[in-house]
């Protein structure tokens, strides 16, 4: 059995009631965690957390999918909730092998590393991956709305701690532009007309 759980803080319960995936269960970080002396969200012991998960309808052996809406493309709350499953006896569902890329597999033909690496001798700006990004050989996509990427809309990040509105080398590819005014995925032809889905976009460095 598969349970789809929508993750939101308790005060947004009305938003959940107004729109959510059919049969999705509302789970709350305010209920799954507690305010301790030094933390706004502290972890319960795993046996107490397990009781809450059972209360929302998730039982042993079931597969869950977490999703949310809000800051950082909706990933903040669902990612936080996923970390709650670290303590205790929880097992992640195996990924399909052909879709699972391991760091050790990310090597060039000459054996150079293609993932970000930061050491005292070499900054990430000098890594082989960064060099390939600058030549348009590697594409990292930022799926947030275009205004957040450009810095014309609030990113939800602390401007005193985060410089800029995007990671250098990443390309703006707003996932929202793939959805029409009815909230449905656009057709194949409409998607091809998006400015960031063409081959020229992926071949050009630092778009």
* pLDDT for position 37: 76
Q: Are residues 196 and 108 located together in one domain of the fold?
A: yes
Instruction: Return the higher-pLDDT residue of 117 and 153.
Output: 153
Report DSSP state, residue 92.
Answer: P
The token pair at 162 is 């985060």
Domain count, the chain: 2
The predicted-structure confidence for 143-155, as pLDDT tens digits, reads as follows: 888 888 888 888 7
Q: Provide φ and ψ at 172, rounded to 5°.
A: -75, 120
The token pair at 77 is 């709350």
**Could you give the CA distance from residue 24 to residue 69 in angstroms, rounded to a whole number?**
13
Tell whether 116 is covered by a domain: yes
Q: For the chain, first and last CA: distance in Å?
A: 43
**Domain endpoint, select from 83, 113, 143:** 83
Expressed as residue numbers, the domain containing 73 is 2-83
- Output the pTM of the full model: 0.42
* pLDDT for position 182: 80
Per-residue buried b or exposed e for 132-157, using 16+ beta carbons within 10 Å of the residue's own CB: bbeeeebbeebebbeebbeeeeebee
Tell whether 111 is covered by a domain: yes
Q: Are residues 67 and 124 located together in one domain of the fold?
A: no
Q: Are residues 71 and 141 located together in one domain of the fold?
A: no
Tell whether 90 is covered by a domain: no
Percentage of the chain exceeding pLDDT 90: 0
**Domain endpoint, select from 38, 55, 83:** 83
Tell whether 49 is covered by a domain: yes
Tell whether 91 is covered by a domain: no
The maximal CA–CA distance of the chain, rounded, in angstroms, is 55
Q: Are residues 114 and 68 located together in one domain of the fold?
A: no
Is residue 40 a contact partner of residue 78, using CB atoms and an 8 Å limit? no
Q: Are residues 57 and 108 located together in one domain of the fold?
A: no
The domain that holds 179 is classified in CATH as 3.40.250
Tell whether 93 is covered by a domain: no
Tell whether 94 is covered by a domain: no
């Amino acid at each position: 059995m598969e349970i789809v759980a929508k993750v939101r803080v308790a005060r947004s319960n009305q938003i959940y009631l107004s729109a959510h995936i059919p049969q999705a269960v509302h789970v709350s970080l305010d209920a799954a965690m507690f305010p301790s002396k030094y933390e706004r969200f502290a972890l319960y012991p795993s046996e107490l957390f397990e009781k809450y998960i059972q209360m929302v309808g998730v039982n042993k052996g079931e597969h869950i999918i977490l999703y949310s809406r809000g800051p950082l493309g909706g990933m903040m709350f669902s990612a936080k909730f996923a970390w709650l499953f670290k303590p205790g006896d929880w097992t992640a569902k195996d990924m399909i092998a052909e879709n699972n890329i391991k760091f050790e597999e990310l090597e060039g033909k000459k054996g150079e590393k293609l993932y970000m690496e930061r050491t005292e001798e070499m900054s990430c700006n000098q890594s082989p991956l960064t060099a390939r990004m600058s030549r348009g050989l590697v594409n990292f996509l930022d799926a947030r709305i275009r205004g957040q990427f450009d810095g014309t809309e609030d990113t939800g990040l602390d401007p005193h701690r985060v410089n800029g509105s995007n990671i250098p080398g990443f390309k703006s590819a707003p996932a929202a532009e793939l959805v029409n005014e009815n909230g449905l995925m656009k057709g194949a032809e409409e998607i091809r007309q998006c400015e960031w889905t063409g081959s020229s976009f992926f071949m050009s460095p630092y778009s």
